[in-house]
């Protein structure tokens, strides 16, 4: 069985290089799961995927470039006539923060119009949750505490896809990547020290500790984009399809 990993949005919060915010679509027979849905995800999704074919969304952390697009996604799906359930999983405060975003952006719709489909939220943790046909677990990583940062481990059959979300280097990040067939890792910075984000240089220093078979970089910031020719790891652009 082949698992498809489509990088719909491969950019950082600032959309450096004109890239869309985080959105990664995982597909396999019976599986259609979006990892993160940043503020600019919906137009990036529509370039490659009918949003109606996405069954679930798993969110790494509560920063707008990772979950800010859900409010637009749900609104669009209501008016597109969706009737199938949409499941959204993420950190403990996901439901509360989604409601806050809904009321800030479309108070005339959310809470006043009955959604045409069931929208269910799940808190993801170490124990796997079935989401979009996959088994998804969330492990805490070190990023910005208020965003409740997690890395994701997505199991489909015998294939394991791991995703850093946003994270600085720590042993927690190694636990996310351990044994993965594909580790999707953020690369906001090339070699700049940052209390919230791992750099490409740090990742290379710790590469053997990760225990991942393959690594693809995403969430590329301006500094990393300026050093693309020096990268020894694969990197995504908006639209890149990786098969595992
Ligand atoms: Zn973040």
The DSSP secondary-structure symbol of 221 reads -
User: Per 3-state DSSP, what percentage of the chain is helix, strand, and coil (rounded to 5)?
Assistant: 25, 30, 45
The DSSP secondary-structure symbol of 31 reads E
CA of 113 from ligand 1 middle (Å) equals: 31
User: Which residues, chain by chain, have CB under 5 Å from ion ligand 1?
Assistant: 63, 166
Average confidence (pLDDT) over 165-194: 96
CA of 65 from ligand 1 middle (Å) equals: 7
Tens digits of residue pLDDT in 190-228: 999 899 999 999 999 999 999 999 999 999 999 999 999
CA of 197 from ligand 1 middle (Å) equals: 8
pLDDT at 94: 98
CA of 54 from ligand 1 middle (Å) equals: 23
pLDDT at 69: 98
CA of 63 from ligand 1 middle (Å) equals: 5
pLDDT at 136: 98
Cβ burial, residue 22 (10 Å; 0-12/13-18/19+): buried
Among residues 63, 53, 1, 2, the alpha carbon closest in space to that of 25 is found at 53
CA of 114 from ligand 1 middle (Å) equals: 31
pLDDT at 20: 98
Q: What's the CATH fold of domain 4-243?
A: Metallo-beta-lactamase; Chain A (3.60.15)
Mean pLDDT of the chain: 97
- Contact between residue 204 and residue 191 where contact means Cβ atoms under 8 Å apart: no
pLDDT at 103: 97
Residues whose CB is less than 8 angstroms from the CB of residue 29 and which lie 6 or more positions away in sequence, other chains included:
1
Note the pTM of the prediction, 2 decimals. Answer: 0.97
């Amino acid at each position: 069985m082949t698992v498809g990993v489509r990088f719909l949005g491969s950019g950082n919060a600032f959309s450096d290089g004109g890239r869309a915010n985080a959105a990664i679509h995982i597909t396999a027979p019976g599986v259609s799961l979006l990892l993160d849905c940043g503020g600019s995800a919906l137009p990036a999704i529509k370039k490659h995927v009918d949003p109606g074919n996405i069954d679930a969304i798993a969110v790494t952390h509560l920063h707008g470039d990772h979950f800010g697009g859900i409010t637009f996604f749900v609104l669009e799906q209501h008016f597109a006539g969706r009737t199938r359930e949409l499941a959204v999983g993420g950190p403990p405060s996901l439901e509360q923060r989604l409601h806050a975003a809904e009321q800030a952006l479309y108070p005339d719709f959310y809470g006043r119009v009955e959604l045409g489909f069931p929208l269910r939220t799940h808190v993801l943790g170490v124990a796997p949750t079935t989401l979009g046909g996959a088994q998804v677990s969330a492990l805490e990583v070190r990023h910005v505490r208020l965003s409740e940062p997690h890395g994701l481990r997505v199991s489909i059959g015998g294939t394991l896809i791991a995703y850093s979300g946003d994270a600085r280097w720590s042993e927690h990040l190694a636990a996310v990547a351990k044994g993965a067939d594909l580790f999707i890792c953020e690369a906001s910075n090339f070699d700049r020290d940052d209390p919230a984000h791992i750099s490409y240089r740090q990742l290379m220093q710790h590469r053997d500790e990760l225990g991942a078979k393959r690594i693809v970089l995403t969430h590329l910031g301006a500094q990393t984009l300026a050093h693309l020719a020096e990268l020894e790891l694969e990197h995504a652009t908006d639209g890149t399809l990786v098969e595992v």
